[in-house]
Amino acid sequence: MENIERPAGPTEVPAGVGEASTVQVILRYEDGSPMADAEWEGAFGDRSVSGRANEQGTATIAVPAGHTGPFRLYLRSFPERYVDR
């Protein structure tokens, strides 16, 4: 996973978020190619949101209004790819 807005690190909601907002992450396979159509789920305490990555592997996560602090991002399924070595 690569965070678009800042270098890779812990998954956190930006400080000061009080209204609903979005966070985007890029999902990639080990070889760097995008995880197009990967299913994900974001867990924000007792609330969760889910969706699919686009063709470029970008997941746009809607942060629930009022949530601050870290959240968890789970990959639920993704198209398997085999790389010839």
pLDDT per position in the chain (85 positions), as tens?
444 444 444 444 444 444 568 899 999 988 889 999 999 999 998 999 999 999 999 999 999 988 888 999 999 997 776 656 5
Q: Vertex 75, ends 72 and 81: CA angle to 5°?
A: 150
Gap between the Cα atoms of 12 and 63, Å rounded = 10
Q: Where are the domains of the chain?
A: 2-9+17-77
Q: What is the CATH number of domain 2-9+17-77?
A: 2.60.40
Spatial CB neighbours of 54, under 8 Å, sequence gap ≥ 6 = 36, 60
Burial 42-73 (b: 16+ CB within 10 A, else e): bebeeeeeeeebbeebbbebebbeebeeebee
pTM: 0.67
